[in-house]
Structure 1
């Protein structure tokens, strides 16, 4: 069984968000999928297999963290599309059948890939008691991303506050189903990004996710409303860092980035 490690939302190795990618003939039992994801031990491992022609999707796709299966994952979808296109397993736009419906990944001539994902509707919320202490900063506002994404978005005062966060991950787990997204407006848009974020997902076994495509389905509408533009670029300011270009199209959000395969080998077990 061939396995690849792909760095997503970056154009260079050892940055962005690494994902395991396995192209299969069919899905084995869930215990095997979970054990492989635990062995890979990245934020997500993606498993995909081709579907019969003539249907609404081309490939079935599932995502697992080291501890659980998840409903949506942007970076591992980007990584899977990258593997399909670079290996010749699929040509052109690919339609994935997933827990979040059919998701489309479209390659461009410049090597980037654009994902078509559902927009996460944001609902203003009260800043929860104790979350400032858990996060290590006082939020200006809080928003619920709804059941599909399952995060609490916290807007902070400025970019440097986001960079400086050293949260209590165990304490943060109490505030949402998946995790907490901290975000702020970019201090200097001339650097090529409009907003920054960091994502903490202790409830799915990821203290800090390096670059989170699914989070940008909530960040895109938030910052589009604040900045008055539907096309923006987000910098996820994790230690590995990565950029996501977003375009808000009503109930859909386009997420564009690049990917690099860094490891390829055989799964022997």
Structure 2
């Protein structure tokens, strides 16, 4: 092998090395666009159901949750605003104090809003904001014949606050939401749904606020990183009560939640697989 050939091979390898190095540097660049933090959880706990339209008794039993949550930092307010979306599906079954009648509850709940990060240190972050929340559900009592079920529907503006705390590799989150104003559906006492279906809908849609609706959502979680995802363990307390047209209702549940959390970002072209992205949840 001549010196000229060796020199050509050396220069070729050097060029390839420089090219690979450049690619490696591109693979590890920092992306300013925050990732979307996505969590999918299941939960189980106790439930307490009460609706005087169906029964004067309180029913207690078990509730199940399937929840999906997404959080993403936006460019609003110099990047201090984080958008949040939550979808929660709840099923519950309960029995009366005598154990001879069951009730069944199903609800789909959706929330969309965000929080302004007004305080941040290396470990602690405090945020406050608002959410638009809407839900639809049905409660069924197996004993009743004329009115065996009643519907629930409401849409509210909520106040919301979140605290994040980082301890070693763990991230703790505490979030509290409560409605301040909205609308809710409620039949008149003794009014059948057959009457409503015939067009007797007077006063079934009502303004809702603290005088006839009170609710609190208390969510505490801890994220444990495992490889490229995290395990989330949490407590979800959901407390909702109304008093409209002489009808009192409440739906309470305390649930243990567990699920998987991942972070993703949309990239053009082939993407940057080893990018260090900014987290919307952990940073």
Q: Is TM-score (shorter-chain normalized) higher than 0.5?
A: no
User: Normalized per residue, which structure has more helix?
Assistant: 1
TM-score (norm 2): 0.29
- Flag the structure with larger Rg: 2
TM-score (norm 1): 0.30
